[in-house]
Structure 1
Amino acid sequence: MPTGVAIRDAREQLFDAAERILLRDGPSALSSRSVTAEAGCAKGVLHRHFRDFDGFLAELVEDRVVRVERLGAELRDRAGTGTVADNLAEALTAVFETVALAIVSLVTYRDELRARIREQRPSGLPILTEAGTMLADYLAAEAEIGRIATASDPGLLARTLIGAGHLLFADRTAPRPELPAVRGLVTAVLGDALTS
């Protein structure tokens, strides 16, 4: 794109381009040049909006964390509707079909990025930690209305679902798991905790 041509929502356009690269090619393919080329804009656009490339990546991670937190609010609102297994299967799919696995790889791959993220989020892995909180909150809401056994541990169930979901979706080159497979995973993990 020639210099001087305005792009709408440049930050979001750059974030989306980085996500596509991460999902398609993995973290080793991510550079400021690859992101701007994917976004169809001049390299200087990235540097006008972000201090440096790791600053861009840190804001990308934060933007995607906010998306998971919004998904969590939507999931909590679904407590008492549909089935618990379907609600959780759809939430896991929404988290893992997007950029969650790529973010984990990216944070693991780049030391400077990990250090910057630790300044804001001192524990856990971004996206997966928030997804675990999202699932635990939903399971606690379902326990309050009796669809999950009150003796169950929503936090432990949520962490188990995140770990099992991570393994199910881990191979970005394989076909994505179908919803029935994700639902089967949820049902197996919840076991006797699932009352309806």
Structure 2
Amino acid sequence: MHLHRDLIVSTAVALLNEYGLADTTMRRVATTLSVAPGALYWHINNKQALIAAIADYIVGPVLDAPATDATELSRRLRQRLLAFRDGAEVVSAGLSQVDNPTWWRLVEHVEQSLAASVECAAVPESLRAAATALIHLTVGATTFEQSRGQLAAFAAAAPPAEPAEPADAALADAAEPATSELERAVAFIIRGLQSTTVEDYARK
């Protein structure tokens, strides 16, 4: 077997979905690939670099898609995060690493979407602040959503003291409100950006 970076990352993603972030270790990846742990370090330096690579894998399709309006982009990002176990936590940890180029690509992509969503020219500084806020909002809200879902699943797995609603039903009921709340919050960001136009900025 020819060991390469893409194989390591795809294996790590599969392990992430099976075991979660805490138990997706370099040693477990190496064992799954039937190689010595040291062999991985020729391609990925440490677990932090592995997390960043998984985050890139998760966010990649969002970046590769054409820029659309900000609400749709936030929806796509949320759906992509939810497609992976601990997806939001992984992306938060991966993109928060210093000088991660994927972070800046995502910021620029969101800036383009926000610019297409407002009805007038926005100040570049305001676009950057709004883009950062939208990413933090989407990733943070999805982290909360995934954590709540995991707690519901754990509660459903434990012997209940009294009949309880199945976890799948509870998650299904919660999904639509979570989507609506996130989209309303994104709308607040867009309206705030619209109120800070180039003309308004020039008059200050």
Structure 1 length-normalised TM: 0.57
AA of the residue aligned to 1:61: I
**Correspondence 1:34 to 2:34:** no
Is 1:71 the counterpart of 2:71 in the alignment? no
Does 2:29 correspond to 1:43? no
1:21 to partner: Cα distance: 2.3
1:19-46 C-alpha deviation (Å, 9 max, x unpaired): 22233323442334421333xx3223x5
Once the two structures are superposed, the pairs formed by residues 162-173 of structure 1 within 5 Å of their partners are 162-171=139-148, 173=150
CA contact (8 A) 1:93 1:179 kept: no
The aligned length equals 164
In structure 2, list runs of 5 or more residues that go unmatched: 154-167, 195-204
Amino acid at match of 1:97: A
Structure 1: gaps spanning 5 or more residues: 1-5, 108-113
- Provide Cα deviations, 1:35-83, integer angstroms capped at 9, x if missing partner: 1333xx3223x5335249x71534433434544255224151x34xxxx
Q: Quick check: 1:186 aligned with 2:161?
A: no
Question: Any conservation in 1 of the 2:9–2:54 contact (CA below 8 Å)?
Answer: no
- Cα distance in 2 for partners of 1:59, 1:92 equals 23
**C-alpha distance in 1 between matches for 2:19 and 2:74:** 28
Residue 113 of structure 2 is matched in structure 1 by 138
Q: Residues 89 and 187 from structure 1, CA distance in 2 versus in 1: closer, same or farther, beyond 3 angstroms? A: same
One-letter code of the match for 2:139?
I
Q: Is the 8 A contact 1:22 1:30 kept in 2?
A: yes
In our comparison, the structure showing a higher alpha carbon Rg is 2
Report the Cα distance in structure 2 between the residues aligned to 1:161 and 1:47, rounded to whole angstroms. Answer: 36
Query: For 2:91 and 2:27, how far apart are their aligned partners in 1?
Result: 22
Per-residue CA deviation, residues 144-193 of structure 1 (Å, 9 max, x unaligned), is xx3x9969863334432332222122356346768744531332213454
Residue of structure 2 equivalent to 1:16: 10
- Paired with 1:15 and 1:104, the residues of 2 have a C-alpha distance of 14
Task: Give, in whole Å, the separation in 2 of the partners of 1:133 and 1:100.
Answer: 21
Amino acid at match of 2:11: A
Amino acid at match of 2:53: D
Native 8 Å contact 2:13 2:54 kept in 1:
no
CA distance in 1 between partners of 2:146 and 2:54 (Å): 18
Contact 2:8 2:29 in 1 (8 A): yes
Q: Match of 1:103? A: 90
Q: Distance in 2 between matches of 1:166 and 1:191?
A: 20
- In 2: Cα distance, 1:130 partner to 1:96 partner: 21
Code of the residue aligned with 1:141 in structure 2: it is: A
